Chain A
Amino acid sequence: MVLVIFLVCAVVFASGCVSNKSTNTTKTYAQNNISFTYPGSWEIVNATSPNAIVAVADPNSVQNGTPTTLVVIQKPDVPAGSDIDTLYTSNYATFFNNTNYQRISDGNITVNGASAPENIYETNTTVNPIQYSAVWLNENGSIYVILSAAQASDFDNQTSNFNIILNSFKLQ
């Protein structure tokens, strides 16, 4: 009888450890010549953006069937060795012309010790505007754009999740 009680307690304790473990892990994406880690609660979603490699999103942020907290990784179709600053400037020279976005900031950040241009903008909607952060990276001559998006009111809270992806992004 003592042995039975001990086994039951062991099973209960073990199940608790299993459920507790899954909440603090990260996942790793390693395909298409790139790899990065992202929050364990996020999922890979179907990216239909032009030149998109992969997109991950927080399933808990889905509103009206679409996630509002997400990261899309794009690889523009440009020749190898293209100047990232030139491409960045030319893109955003027209980006805000016929879109519903408004520019918030334009500058450089440091990602893994390297300087990377970043453009932060927001939708023009008054209700639940979405804030974007586009970081352009030059990885061994190949240009990648990591576009992070979240509701403007929640963007600062999601910065840590975005940084998990940014700081772990690398070519395979």
Chain B
Amino acid sequence: MAVDRVKKLQGKEVTEKSQEYLSDKKKEDADTVEKDALIQKYVTNPPEKPVTKTGSSGLSKGKISLLIFVVMAFFVGTGYGVYVMSIPANNSTGSTIDVNASAFSTVNNTTVNQTANQTNIIPTNTAVTTPITTTKTTVTTTPSTTTTKNKNKTKTGGSTGNSTKK
């Protein structure tokens, strides 16, 4: 039909036979060739649209980056936690809390000289450095320390230290 219209426009005769012609192969072939030629010459196809690339079927870049960050954070955190737990216990005395409780008797060794001078023996009852051996001897020589003037008799008992806690 398009070919007939073109022929009419060109002023060519349009034989009715061409519209009814089916049995003659030569005319049909010629007609077909002519048709193709005319189509190529006059029928314009719309320009092909550029093939647009479809989006990737997987995760977007942002989601992939987020996933990588979470995975890295997981392993970094786990690794740091294992590292901290594996640090050996610190046995150094970093504490500033002082403890002076003692199981030893703290009689002052200077009682030996009491016969010469009336010394003011002040048993502190706390941390006086008197090893047990010296304590033993003083007991035999000066049986009484009750004569001492206990001016500074400190309270023992909780004697557990001085507060210098940070």
Contacts and interface: CB of A to CB of B under 8 A. Distances in A.
Given A30-B91, A49-B100, A50-B127, A125 B155 contact: yes
Interface residues of B, number: 53
Given A52-B102, A74-B104, 4 more contacts: A31-B91, A68-B160, A93-B105, A98-B125
B93 A129 contact: no
A55 interface: yes
Interface in B138-166: 139, 145-146, 150, 155-165
Contacts of A91: 103-105, 132, 135
B99 A50 contact: no
A90 interface: yes
Interface residues of A, number: 65
B158 A65 contact: no
B107 A4 contact: no
A6 to B, nearest CB: 10
Interface stretch (B8-16, B25-33, B77-85): B77-85
Interface of B: 66-67, 70-71, 74, 77-78, 81, 85, 89, 91-107, 123, 125, 127-133, 135-136, 139, 145-146, 150, 155-165
The prevalent SS among residues of B at the interface is: loop
The prevalent SS among residues of A at the interface is: mixed
Interface of A: 3-4, 7-8, 10-11, 14-15, 18, 21, 27-31, 43-52, 54-55, 57, 59, 62, 64-68, 70, 72, 74, 76-78, 87, 90-95, 97-101, 119, 123-125, 128-130, 132, 134, 145, 147, 149
Contacts of A18: 81, 85
7 contacts: A27-B91, A74-B103, A94-B135, A119-B103, A123-B159, A125-B155, A132-B103
A45 B97 contact: yes
A78 B135 CA distance: 12
B131 A66 contact: no
B114 to A, nearest CB: 15
Contacts of A43: 95, 97
